[in-house]
Structure 1
Amino acid sequence: MEVQGKIKVLGETKEYGKNGFRKRELVVTTEEQYPQHILVEFVQDKTDILDKYSVGQQVKIGINLRGREWVSPQGETKYFNSIQGWRIEAVQQNSGGQAPVAPEDQFEPVTDLNEEDEDDLPF
């Protein structure tokens, strides 16, 4: 799965426990009719891949959905979900949202136009 948008928040790498579990969070804002702010976690060696990205940058993130079950001391079962990133890449944006147009000098000019030529369309 993938999510694409603009980086809104880029957290610092945090270390947890005696084993040195590392986690870094990133919030990406999607660009759609109703923008969503999606929290994506990067863990262990994947935290380092965020070093070359910055807030405001357009990115596409490869994600995995993770779910886990937790049973409270009272016996109540709860479920938690997280979004874990495993890949990220910068996305180039076109200005104006239109396809790029080739420069004029890449087209051969039309020289045989004659306004008196009859239209050969069947309608």
Structure 2
Amino acid sequence: MQITGHVHEVGQTQQVSESFKKRDLIVVVAENPQYPEYIRVEATQDKTTLFDGLKQGDGVTVDVNLRGRPWTNKEGITTYFNSIVACKLAKTGSIAPTPDTTPQPAMAPIDISQADDDDDLPF
């Protein structure tokens, strides 16, 4: 599976344990620019270097694997966790524009005091 978008944020490498490290990348996917999606992609172990040299605004295509696992708490309730894990990354070479978050102007108020009383609305 691939995720194509632009870099919103590149996290620092975290040494979780003596033998495990990970790093996050937030990719903005703006198929609908009015409602962009912010997807967290994780890289583990030697793949954490995939995110080296990336900066905000860089266009990227990330090949990912979806992973999931169950976890059962002390009360016996099972919860499921999903991860999106990077296995390959390519810069697209273009810097994508930031989604337009400028508020749209409100509609002008309508004067209903001059409304026609002859309408046939049921309320």
Distance 2:47 2:94 in 1: 25
Q: Which has the larger strand fraction?
A: 2
Distance 2:12 2:94 in 1: 26
Larger radius of gyration: 1
The Cα shift of 1:74 comes to 0.5
Provide the TM-score with structure 1 as the length reference.
Answer: 0.72
Distance 2:40 2:95 in 1: 26
Aligned length: 94
**Alignment check: 8 A CA contact 2:58 2:95 kept:** no
The alignment yields a C-alpha RMSD, in angstroms, of: 1.7
Q: Secondary structure at the match of 1:91?
A: strand
Unaligned runs of 5+ in 2: 97-123
Report sequence identity in percent. Answer: 37
Partner of 1:50: 51
CA separation of 1:46 and 1:72: change in aligned 2, threshold 3 A: same
The Cα shift of 1:85 comes to 0.5
Provide the TM-score with structure 2 as the length reference.
Answer: 0.72
Q: Secondary structure at the match of 1:92?
A: strand
> Which portions of structure 1, spanning 4 or more consecutive aligned residues, are displaced by more than 3 angstroms?
92-95
Partner of 1:82: 83
Q: Secondary structure at the match of 1:49?
A: helix
Mapping of 1:1-123 within 5 angstroms? 1-19=1-19, 21-33=20-32, 34-93=35-94
The Cα shift of 1:94 comes to 9.5
Q: 1:66 corresponds to which letter in structure 2?
A: R
The Cα shift of 1:31 comes to 2.0
Unaligned runs of 5+ in 1: 96-123
The Cα shift of 1:73 comes to 0.6
Distance 1:86 1:73 in 2: 34
Query: Highest relative contact order (Cα 8 Å, sep 6+), 1 or 2?
Result: 2
